[in-house]
A and B are shown apart, each in its own frame.
Chain A
Amino acid sequence: MSALGYAELCCVSGFSFQRGASTPEELVARAAELGYRAIALTDECSLAGAVRALQTAEACAIDLILGSRFTLDEGVTVVLLVRNRNGYTRLCRLITDARQRVAKGDYRIGLADLQADTLADCRILVLPDYDCPPGPALHHLLAWLATTYPRQSHIALALHRRAADMAHRRRLDELRARYGLPLVAVGDVHMHRRSRRALQDVFTALRLGTTVHNAGRALFANGERYLRPRSTLAALYPDETLAATLRIAADCRFSLREIRYDYPSEVVPQGQTALEHLRTLVERGCQRRWPEGTNATIRRQIEHELALIEEKNYPHYFLTVHDIVEEANRRGILCQGRGSAANSVVCFCLGITEVDPLRHDMLFERFISRDRNEPPDIDVDFEHERREEIIQYIYRRYGRQRAALAATVIHYRPRSAMRDVGRAMGLSVDQIDTLAGALSRRSDDGSLAAQLDERGIDIDTDDLDRILMLVDTLIGFPRHLSQHVGGFVLSEVPLEQLVPVEKAAMPDRTIIQWDKDDLEAVGLMKIDVLALGMLSCLRRCFALIERHHGRRLTMATIPGKDKATYDMISAADTVGVFQIESRAQMTMLPRLRPQRFFDLVVEVAIVRPGPIQGGMVHPYLLNREKKREEIEYPSEALRGVLERTHGVPIFQEQVMKIAMVAASFSAGEADGLRRSMAAWKKKGGLEPWRERLKSGMRANGYAEDFADRIFEQIKGFGSYGFPESHAVSFALLVYVSSYIKCHYPAAFAAALINSQPMGFYAPAQIVADLKRHGVQVYPIDVCHSDWECTLEHGNDEEAAVALRLGLRLVKGLSRDAGERIVAARSTAAFTQVADLVNRARLGQRSRDALARADALRGLAGHRHQAQWQIAAAHVHADLFAGLDAPEPDVDLPAPKEGSDIVADYASTALTLRRHPLALLRPQLARQGVLCARDFDALADRRAAHVAGLVTIRQRPGSAKGTTFVTLEDETGCVNVVIHRDLLARYRVAVTSARLLRVNGIMQRHGPVTHCVARHIVDDSARLGKLTTWSRDFH
C-alpha cells in the first residue's frame, strides 16, 4: 500500500439538498478513519453543514477545510476553498449574494461575480466536464485564472473508473500544459460509503423530477463517488496530483473558531461600559420593584448575578433583550421572558420577567452555569397578534444587514421520507399515502407487512424491503432550511461576514445558514422573539377590567396567594386558563390541588410526555400524600436535589443534577446529556449515555431500577423536556389568567374570544362555561355589538356585567364590514335593514352573513324575515337612498327552535338558545341515555349510556394510542376514553361524527370521571343539518 497522504478537497454533504447522500458528520468521521490528512466540505453554495463538520472534525482530530461549490451560469463548475479569515468572509458574502438573487433554495452566480478580490484568499479548483470537451467558458475562466491567480488555481481531476477516464486525463493534461495550472486529485465525493449509492440515486431522481427507473444515464454509472481508501486512490491517480492535495490543504488554515462575534454596541450609551449601564438599569429597576427599599437577600443575589454576568461577558446580551422589551412596553405590547437566564433578579429588575420572588415564595434556583460555556438563554414571548411589530422594530433598529432569523434544519420524518422515496421509486400517490400512513404507526402497531396486507396494498416484497431500507436511511437527513420560529441573530458587523444569509419563504425575511445548535457551538447570540396567544388575551383583560371595573392591573400587580383562585384551580374549573386547561391537566388538578405558586410550576411541568413516560406522575401524587419525613431518598445527596418535588424528579434541571450527583457526571457531560435529550428523536445517540449513566450510578451504589427509571425519563424529556426555568414563567401566566377568570369571568371570556384562534376551547365552550357561572350573555346584534365581544352593564350601574357577543363571531363577515357597521351606528342608530345596508355599505356576502347569524333581530325580526328583507336591500350609489318601491308583503313562517339552533351553529358556531341535546332529550331518555349531570353521579364501574356533541377529540402522544373525546350536552360534558383496539373498529365514527352515543363503563377517581367506551354509535343523523364545531388535537 502506498503511504501517500491525501486530502479530499471536493465533497458535498446532505446540505447540498437532493445531491449529497451523507451527513457532514459521517463524511468527516469517515475521512478521519481512512487517514485522510484533511477534508473539505464544499456544499453547493452553502455553509449550512460547516458547524456540524467542525464539531466532528474536532472530535476526530482531522483538519477541516471550508469551502463551497458553484456551477456558474456559463456552465463551469468551480470549488472555492477558504484559506484564511478574510477568505471566509468573502465566501460568506459571495454565497449571500448568489442566494439573494433568486427564489429560496436556488442560487445564481456568473463568471463576473468571481471578481479579483473575491478570490484573493481562496484556493480555486476548476472541475472540467467529463462528458464533453472543454468549451469556451472553461477556456475563458482558466485563461483569466492563469493570469490573475496562477498560484491559487488548480484543475481538478476526478476519476471514477468510467470508460473515458484515459481521454479525460489526456484532456486535462492538455489544459494543464496550455494554462500552466497544476492538476489536483479530487474525489468529487457525494457519500461517505458506497452503500449510500441507492440513496444518492433517489436524490438524483427527485432533483430531476423523475423515478430511478426512468432517470437513465442521469444517475451516476457507478458508486465510486464515495470516500475511497488511500490505496485505491493511489492506484488510480498520478502521484503528483495526490501530493498537490496536501499542499493545498496545508495552505487552507482557516478554522471557524477564528470568527469573532461582537454584540451590537448601540444598546450601550456613549461613555459608559456595558456593565456600568446594566448596573444603572438594574438600580433603576430595583427602585421600581421595591420602592420601600431592598433587603440584604436581594442585594446579595443581585451582586452575585452581576458578577457572573461580567465574568461571562454577557452584559450586552441582557441589554439587548432589555432594549427589545422596552420597545414592547413603549408600544403597550405585553411580553414576558422565560428560560434559565430569565429567572434572575436582574431580569426581574429589567422588566424582562414579572415573576416576583417575594410574592410567590419562589427562590431562584439556577441562573447561568459558571462551568458551562453556553450562551445565556432568554426566550421572550409577545402577544401573538403584535409580535410582527417587534420583529419590524428589530429590523429597523439593527438594520437588515445585521439582523436575521436563525435557520431550522427541517429533517426528513417518516412521512416525508416515505413520500420522497416512494416518488423516486415510482409508486403511485395512492400507494405512497397508504404506506406513509402505515409507516407513521409502525412503531406502535406491529409489523408493517401485515398492515399493508390488511389494506390491500400490493407491493413486491423486494421492492418494499428496498423502500423501507431507503426510508430508514433518509429519516433524520436534512431536507431543507426553514426559518426558526423567532430566533433572531444580531451582530455588530453585517451578518454576511460571519455566515451566509439566504432568503426565507416569507417575503422580507432572511435566515442565516445555521440553526440554533450551530449558533451555540460557535458562540453567536440568539434572542428568541416568540408569539403567545395568552398574552394578547391578558392585555385585553387588563383593558376591559380597567374600563368596566375601574381597577388597573398588570402582570406584576395581580395579588398573589389568592385563595379563591387556588380553590378554583383545585376544582379544575379552568376552561380557557393558560396551560392547565387541557383535559390531561384538568384531570390532574383535583388530585394535585395546588395551593401555592410552586405547585403551579410543578403542575405545568408534570403533565407532559416526559414525566408521564418516565412514570413520575403517580409517585409524585403518592409522595405528596406522605409526610415529609416518610419520603425515602435513594441517598442523602439526592435529597438535596429532589426534596422540593417530594423525592420525584420533575424538571429537566433536576435530571441533569441527578446525573451529576448520582452518576458523577461533570457539568459538561450533563450538558451533553441535555443536548442528546433534545436531539435523540431525530438523531438517536442516547444509548452511550445510558451505559455511562447506569455505570456511574452503579458505582455510587444506586439501585438498578432507579437508574432505569431516570433513563426512561431522560428519553421522555427528549420529546418535550420541560425545564423549571420555563415552567416558572408559564406558571405566572397560569396564575394571572386564573385570577382574572376567577374574579372577572366576563372580561376573561370576552378577551379570550377576542384573541381567537388560541387555546384549547372554541367560543361555544367558552360561552357555555361563562353561562354556567351565572353570567348573562347577550346575542350578536347589529344595533348593539361591536366587532369584538364587549361587556355591558345592565340597566343600572350596580348590576353585574354581562357579555355581549361581537360581530367577529359572524362567519363570513369581514372585519372591515364589521367596523363600518360600528362606525355608522355611532353617528345614528339604524332605523331599518335598508338603512343599515346603505350606511355601512354592506356587500352581498356581509348581508347574508348578518341575516344568517340572526344579528338583525333588532331591525327585522326573525331570521327568515331578516334574510328576505336584507336580500332586497342594496347599497345605493346615489342620493336617493331608501326610495325603493314598496313591494307586496310576503308572509314567512318564523323558524322553529330546532332550525334556529341549527342556523346559530352554522353561522356563529355557538348558540345562546337551548342546547341541541335538550331538544333530543325525550328521545334519548327513552333509549336510556343519561345526561352528563346524571352520569357524574354514578358509582365507579357502573354501566353508562351517554350521548353528546363532540367538542374535542384528542390523541396525546403519551397515551399509547388512547383517544379522548369530550361529549357535551345541555348539562355539561362527559369525557370518553376510547382504547386503541376499540378505535380500530369505530375509527370513522370517532373521527367524523358530530353526535356520538356511547355505551361504556364509569371510571371514577374521586371527582374525576371518565366513560370508558365499549360500544360507539354515530348519531349525527339526528342532528339533521346541525353544524357543530370540534377542535381536533393530535
Chain B
Amino acid sequence: MWLALRLPHWALDSRADASDRPPGTNPTLVVAEQRGRRHVVAADAWALEQGVRRGMLLADARMRVPEAAVLTRHIAGEVAALERLGGWAWHYSSQVHIARASDRIECARVVFEIGASLRLFGGRQRLLERVRADLDRMGYRYTLGVGDSPHAALAFARAPSPKHRAKGLAGLPLTCLDLDAQTTLSLKASGLRLAGELLALPPGTLVRRYGKHTLDELERLRGRRPHGLDFYTLPQRYGTRHELTGAVETTQGLVFVLRRVFAELAAFLQGADATIQTLQLKLIHDELPPTRLLLRLAAPSRDADHLERVANERLARVTLAAPVLEIALASDRLRRFEQDQDSLWRDPDHAGIEQWPAVLDRLRARLGHEAVGWLHDVDDHRPEQASARHDRPATSHTPVSAPRPMWLLDVPERAPAELTLIAGPERIETGWWEHSIRRDYFRARDGQGRLLWVYRDLAHAHSSDTPVYYMHGLFG
C-alpha cells in the first residue's frame, strides 16, 4: 500500500516562515518566468480565496490581490526543503520517492510505501492521522491519496473531491491519471470521462492511438508493471538551506523563524532515526558575509529542542550586521541513534571556516574580535562611502586615481584657520539618492606642516561668504 502527497504550493510553503506569518499581512505569491511572462506557481490561502490560481499570469493575479507581495521561485530552496521532508517520511517507510515540480511533474510530491509499517503505527487510520498531524504542524498544504501502487496513490491524491475517491480507481476522472496532456485531451474529445471507461477499452485500440506508454501507465496504475520510481536515500549529514519570504532584521524575529527551522530538523532526525553533535548555523545576508554560529553539544543527540535553546542563547549575544535572507544548516555526520558515539567523533569537520593567520588570532584574542579588521575599497565617489571595514581581507581591489588620505575622520571638523591650499579644487557632488554631498576638496598644509585633506561645503555656502574649510583627512 502506498501513500502519495502532492504539495501544490510548495514553492511558497517550503519557505521557512511561509505559514507562520501573522494574520493581516499582505497576501504572498510566488512567480516563475516562462517565455518572458510571469506566472503564479504558488499562492497563500488568502490569495486563493480572492480567485488567484496556479498558472495564472501575474498581471491577472495582481488584479485580484493588488497588494500582494511577489516572490520569485527559488528551485534550490524547494529541493532542499523537499529533501528534509524525505527525511521525515523515512520515519514511516524506507521506500520514499520525492520529486519537485518540473515540466512533466505538475507539483512537488512525496510518495512512500506504508503497507509494511501499518502494524507498527496501529493501522491505516492511525498512520494517516499521524501523517496529517505532522504535515499540519510543519504548515504544509497538501493533498493525500492512498492506493495499491504509487501511481494509484498519486491518482487518488489528484481527485478533486472525496466523492470521486469513493468508487475506487474506476470512478476517478481521467484528469487524475498521469497521461500526457495531448492524450488526455484526445480522450476527453472522444467522450471519455472516467478512468473506468478508459480501463474498459480494448487495449489494442489504445496502443494504436496513443502508443505503448499510455497502456504502460494504466498497467502501472493497476500495479501490473514495476513502478520504476527511484528512492530517496538518507544523506550523510544534515545540510540544508531555508529561504525566508522576507528579510528578517531582528534577533527576536529570528527566534520566531528558527522555531520552524528546528521543528523540521526534529522531524528529520526522528524520521532518519539519527543523531548529530555539531550544527553550524549560517545566517546569510545580502552583501555582507554570513554570520556563523557553531553549536556543539556535549554528546550526540537528536534533541532538536535542545539545539534550538542553545541557538537562541547564542543569538541573544549576537547583533545582526544586516537583515537575514536565508538560513543554512550543516551538521556533522549523522549517526544511528543507538550507535557507539566515541569511535565516530574523531575528525571534526570545519570545512567552510577560514583558517586565520595565527598572529591575527592572537591579536584578536588580546584586543577583542571587533578591534581587528580590514579596510575594503568601495566603488563610490563619496569619501565616506568609499571604504568599509570588514573582518577579512578584500578579494579584489579597484585602483583609485585620485589621491586619498589613509586617515579619514569619522566626523569632519573645522580646519585650522592657518591653511595653505596646495592643490584643488576637486569637486565631488553625488549621492543625491541617499547622502547627497557637494564639496570642493583641496590638499592643504596647516601651521604645523601637516598635509590635510580639507573641503568647502558647496551645498551650504554662498559665494559671498568667506570660505569655511573642514578637515576630512590626514595624509600620513
Instruction: Point out residues on A near B: beta carbons under 8 Å.
Output: 131, 160-166, 197-198, 201, 212-214, 216-224, 425, 428-430, 433-434, 437, 454-456, 463, 466, 844, 848, 851-852, 863-864, 867-868, 871-872, 887-888, 890, 892-895, 903, 987-988, 991-992
Contact = CB atoms under 8 A, between A and B. Distances in A.
B190 A868 contact: yes
B181 to A, nearest CB: 12
Interface string B385-418: 0000000000000101111000000000000000
Contacts of B425: 161
B429 A223 contact: yes
Given A217-B381, A867-B186, A161 B440 contact: yes
Contact of B190 (A197, A216, A221, A871): A871
B60 interface: yes
A648 to B, nearest CB: 40
Contact of A988 (B64, B427, B429): B64
Nearest to A466: B433
A917 B24 CA distance: 41
A887 B402 contact: no
Given A871-B210, A892-B192, 20 more contacts: A131-B401, A160-B427, A214-B379, A216-B380, A217-B398, A221-B381, A221-B427, A428-B70, A429-B70, A430-B70, A434-B66, A463-B433, A848-B185, A852-B189, A863-B189, A867-B189, A871-B186, A894-B191, A987-B63, A991-B63
B205 A887 contact: yes
B190 A892 contact: yes
Given A161-B425, A217-B381, A991-B63, A903 B189 contact: yes
B426 A163 contact: yes
B442 to A, nearest CB: 10
B428 A872 contact: no
A871 B209 contact: yes
A848 B398 CA distance: 62
Given A161-B427, A222-B428, A890-B201, A864 B433 contact: no
Contacts of B186: 848, 867, 871
Contacts of A454: 67
A894 B191 CA distance: 8
Contacts of A217: 379-381, 398, 400
Contact of B426 (A131, A161, A871, A894): A161
29 contacts: A131-B401, A160-B427, A164-B402, A165-B426, A197-B432, A201-B430, A217-B398, A221-B381, A221-B426, A222-B428, A223-B429, A224-B427, A437-B62, A466-B432, A848-B189, A851-B189, A852-B189, A867-B191, A871-B190, A871-B210, A872-B205, A888-B204, A888-B205, A892-B192, A893-B191, A903-B189, A988-B63, A991-B63, A992-B63
B328 interface: no
A433 B66 CA distance: 11
B434 interface: yes
Contacts of A437: 62
The 5 closest A-B pairs by CB, nearest first: A216-B379, A864-B191, A163-B402, A161-B427, A456-B67
Interface string B35-79: 000000000000000110000000010111011011000000000
Given A197-B432, A456-B67, A903-B189, A890 B202 contact: yes
Interface string B320-355: 000000000000000000000000000000000000
B433 A213 contact: yes
A568 to B, nearest CB: 40
Contacts of A162: 402, 426-427
B378 interface: yes
Nearest to A888: B202
A425 B205 contact: no
Interface in B419-441: 423-430, 432-434, 440-441
Contacts of B209: 868, 871-872
Nearest to A457: B67
A988 B51 contact: yes
Q: Which of B192, B209, B440 has the most CB of A within 10 A?
A: B209
Contacts of B185: 848
A848 B63 CA distance: 35
B398 to A, nearest CB: 8
A164 B401 contact: yes
A864 B379 contact: no
B208 interface: yes
B199 to A, nearest CB: 13
A911 to B, nearest CB: 16
A434 B381 CA distance: 32
B117 interface: no
A425 B432 CA distance: 11
A890 B430 CA distance: 79
A201 B432 contact: yes
A160 B430 CA distance: 14
Nearest to B62: A433
Nearest to B403: A163
Contacts of B251: none
B200 to A, nearest CB: 10
A623 B409 CA distance: 81
A373 B189 CA distance: 67
A872 B208 contact: yes
Contacts of A844: 182
Contacts of A867: 186, 189-191
A131 B401 CA distance: 7
A220 B430 CA distance: 8
Contacts of A466: 432-433
Nearest to B210: A871
A868 B189 CA distance: 8
B202 A887 contact: yes
Interface in B178-201: 182, 185-186, 189-192, 201
B385 to A, nearest CB: 9
Contacts of A161: 425-427, 440
Given A161-B425, A163-B426, A871-B186, A212 B67 contact: no
B63 to A, nearest CB: 5
Contacts of B192: 892
Contacts of B69: 430
B280 interface: no
A738 to B, nearest CB: 38
Nearest to B183: A871
A321 B368 CA distance: 87
Interface in B349-385: 378-381
B400 to A, nearest CB: 8
A987 B51 CA distance: 13
Contacts of B240: none
Interface in B149-205: 182, 185-186, 189-192, 201-202, 204-205
Contacts of B378: 216
B26 interface: yes
A538 to B, nearest CB: 37
Contact of A221 (B64, B182, B428): B428
Q: Which of A160, A429, A430 has the most CB of B within 10 A?
A: A430
Nearest to A895: B191
Nearest to B400: A217
Nearest to A864: B191
B444 to A, nearest CB: 14
Nearest to A198: B432
A131 to B, nearest CB: 5
Contacts of B204: 887-888
A222 B210 CA distance: 70
Nearest to B432: A198
B62 to A, nearest CB: 7
Contacts of B26: 456
Nearest to B201: A890
Contacts of A166: 423
Contacts of B201: 890
A542 B327 CA distance: 72
A482 B430 CA distance: 34
B43 to A, nearest CB: 14
A454 B429 CA distance: 36
A851 B191 CA distance: 12
